[in-house]
Structure 1
Amino acid sequence: MVLNSVIDAIGDTPLIELSRVCQILDLDGRILAKLDYLLPGFSKKDRAARSIIEQARADGSLIPGQTVVELTSGNMGTGLAIVCGILGHPFVAVMSAGNSVERARMMRALGAEVVIVPQAEGGKPGEVSGADLALVDDAARRITAERNAFRADQFGHAGNPKAHAAGTGPEIWAQSAGAVTAFCDFAGSGGTLAGVSGYLSPLGVRCYAVEPDGARALAGEPVRAPDHPIQGGGYAMSDLTHLNGAKLAGHLSVTGASARDAARLLARTEGIFAGFSAGANLAAAIDLLRGPERGGCIAILMCDSGLKYLSTDLWE
């Protein structure tokens, strides 16, 4: 079958059994990894980018040729650069200087204008805190107003969770033949977790939020360590619009070190070259199989490609 554009290639990613990881670690249960790093923009954010832009065009909030602006760690921006480029919308990505340089280069290659925002005082390259994100949001709001642009708003637009409720969740259920008993995801905007849990929770699947150790705001804990190396999430935001009312079975925490080790384990044992957040998801799934989900079947996402982290310490 010949597709009309690369937009039509967004979705239907493979689901892989991590049998080697489970055997090496002597885990009681199964882990299934959905390879969203194989999407055209090398991340799960392609799904939300397509959904938001298509919904906005359909309801008239985005008119033909109008500029689109969004804050991004790089993944949402890459997805939007692809979708906007094909549909004829100039795109401006607003990103913290703390994110890896590969992401900015990829967005520019895809035709995006990339605005880099300096980090907050005390910020560390390779780590993006909630304070850094707030500065990026301020810049995105200003640019949106100046250019009379459409703000994609991945933290608030309903198209984000809708993409995962209509796509990711049903795909996981069908591909696993209903074997999945739990799902966990590292929370950024909360769209993936909200959408997948919205579909899977009514089917009896227990869904968990994953946050960095020391920045478990969603779990209601004081934030004592907002800086961490897991880019794309863990911003210590206690109120994520998409997760309001979401049915969650619990909240998990991972350290930067455990996420790094798990990502490296994926590469060495399963041939899956994914990023920090994929490692965080695997580390959380391992904890679940050693704890409350022992004997179960955990589904996780491989959120983005390891190619986006070559300048970080993930692959030293």
Structure 2
Amino acid sequence: MSTMSAKMSRSSRRRKHAVSQLNLMVVGFRSLGKTSFIRMLFDTLCVRKNAKEEAKLPECLFQSAETAQDAETARTKELYSFTLDVEEEGEKISLTLVDSPGFVRDNELRLDVQVTEALRYIEAQFDHTLAEETKVKRNPKAQDSQIHACLYFIDNANNGLTDKDIRILKRLTARVNVIPVVAKADLLTTSQLANLKQAIKSDLKEHNIPVFDFPIDEEVAEPEVAEVVTNVQSYIPFSLVAPEDATITDPSTGEKIRGRQYAWGIIDCLNPKHCDFVVLRNVLLSSHRKLFKDITLEVFYEQYRTERLMARKVLGSIDTYTLRENKT
């Protein structure tokens, strides 16, 4: 084997065994289906059987919520995360999913505390990276725990964004790639959903809220790529429908599906004509995964890092001044 062939072979093996990390978080008000989304995403993942350690899955993923009492019992009480080794289109991914307690609607003080707690978690992951960077001898196997994308669930009962949504989104978008999604879209007609999506887009623009808008560099992007991105942009905010716990059978095929059954028909949550889950899943795990990570590292982390280093510098200057004053 030639030297060049040997190098290419080693490079191919490295790519084959390389594992990409992706960390996703869900936030939003109570009873909008955040945990149900994580459950549905989990159900569609190809978990690698040869993973070194079997992931310990949270019990809430498997709790039914057929009654109001069941829903209350299964409600997410505190922030938690779990990591899975999955494979997507031939690529190995270490996927961490972070669920968070639903925001309260009737207590402004508690709401602000909850948003602060979510932000502290995001910033704590930046702190892990900063601490690793300042080590004399860095750990080559250090895990990237930064939150690469955060799904913000929006109540379909409102005609656009509420004042609370706007306040929360302005805080979140300063630290993470935020993807807005319309929860429980099955409760809306086609025209109602279209009107709500347009109202949300208008509110985002009016209040200068920089949610992730799937940017594209037109100078370097191929026409096919630009077309795909433009198509994805048209979905924002993505509409989601959570499947019910009961077994649903497609009458035309007899196959079990993840969906919801009504008197007038069946919703298939994996049918792009019924909701945007499949499109969003592809965006997160495949087409835009690297872009989420790049922006997180190059924009959000760098901004946070600069803020922290400047704060340390100012604090150091104050301490030095205080020490000199005490000596005099």
Q: TM-score range by the shorter chain?
A: under 0.3
The TM-score with structure 1 as length reference comes to: 0.27
Whose relative contact order is higher, 1 or 2, with alpha carbons under 8 Å and at least 6 apart? 1
Greater gyration radius: 2
The TM-score with structure 2 as length reference comes to: 0.26
